[in-house]
Copies of this chain bind each other. A is one copy, B any other.
Amino acid sequence: MEFPSKLIENAVGELSKLPGVGKKTALRLALHLLKAEADTTATLAEALAKMRFEIRYCDTCHNISDTPECTICANKLRDHSTVCVVSDIRDVIAIENTGQYKGTYHVLGGVISPIEGVGPSDLQIDSLVARMGAPESEVKEVILAISPTMEGDTTAFFLSRKLRDFEGVHISTIARGIPMGGELEYADEITLGRSIVERQRQAR
C-alpha cells in the first residue's frame, strides 16, 4: 500500500501491530482520527500511554489495580477462603461479569507453553504457593479456572500437583461446560457462570 504521507504511514504501521488489525482497518482508524477533532486523538494517545505507564498489579493476586491491593482483595465481603486461579486479567473480568463468584482470584499471567518459551517460573505460581502457605492464609479451596486448551490443561495439571500438599485445601476445576479447545473469555456469561457454580472437586 502506498501512502501519501510518512506520518500516516507510521500511524498505520503502529496500529496494524495491534492484534486483529490489518492494514486496511488501520488505515480506516487513522483516517477516522484525521477527520475527527484533534482532541479525540490527543485523549486516546494519552489514555493509552497513561494506562501503560501507570498501571499497577495487586500485590496479592496480580490482578490489574490502581492501588497496591486490588478492590477484590481489599473487599472484606468477598470470600477469602476461595481462590480462583486464572491465566489472564481478561478472565477475571469475564468471571466478575457473571455475578456468580464471590471469592478472590490469582492471576497467573499466562499458561505454560514450551513452544512460546513460557515455563512455570514465568508465571505467578510461586506467589500462589507462598500465598497459600502464609500463616495468615484462610484459603480452603482453589478453583482452577483455566481455559481447557492443551497449554491450559498442562498448567492445571502442574498446579494440581504443586498444590496437593496443602492439606485441607480442596482443588476444583470449573465444570466442563466450556467446549474443549475453547477460550474462556469467549464463553457466554450463563455458561461461564454455571461452570463456576458446578465446579468439579478434583480427586487428590
A52 CA to B92 CA, complexed, in Å: 35
Interface of chain A residues 22 through 38 with chain B (CB within 8 A): 25, 27-34, 38
User: Given A46-B45, A48-B41, A88-B31: A55 and B8 within 8 A (CB)?
Assistant: yes
A25 CA to B21 CA, complexed, in Å: 10
Task: Give the number of times this chain occurs in the complex, counting copies.
Answer: 2
Interface 1/0s, chain A 43-61, versus B by CB < 8 A? Answer: 1111111111111000000
Say which residue of B1, B4, B29 sits within 8 Å of A18 (CB atoms). B29
Q: What residues of B have a CB within 8 angstroms of the CB of A20 in the complex?
A: 25, 28
Q: Identify whether the interface residues of A are mostly helix, strand, loop, or mixed.
A: helix
Do residues B48 and A14 form an inter-chain contact, with CB atoms below 8 A?
yes
Within 8 Å of chain B (Cβ to Cβ): is A146? no
Residue of B nearest to A63 (CB): B4
Q: What residues of B have a CB within 8 angstroms of the CB of A31 in the complex?
A: 88-90
User: Given A25-B20, A55-B8: A2 and B48 within 8 A (CB)?
Assistant: no
Within 8 Å of chain B (Cβ to Cβ): is A135? no
User: Given A19-B32, A42-B49: A55 and B5 within 8 A (CB)?
Assistant: yes
Do residues B97 and A1 form an inter-chain contact, with CB atoms below 8 A?
yes
A14 CA to B44 CA, complexed, in Å: 5
Do residues A38 and B64 form an inter-chain contact, with CB atoms below 8 A?
no
Interface of chain A residues 50 through 90 with chain B (CB within 8 A): 50-55, 63-66, 70-72, 88-90
Do residues A11 and B51 form an inter-chain contact, with CB atoms below 8 A?
yes
Residue of B nearest to A61 (CB): B4
Say which residue of B4, B19, B29, B47 sits within 8 Å of A65 (CB atoms). B4
Closest 8 CB pairs of A and B: A41-B52, A45-B45, A11-B51, A14-B47, A14-B44, A7-B51, A45-B49, A11-B47
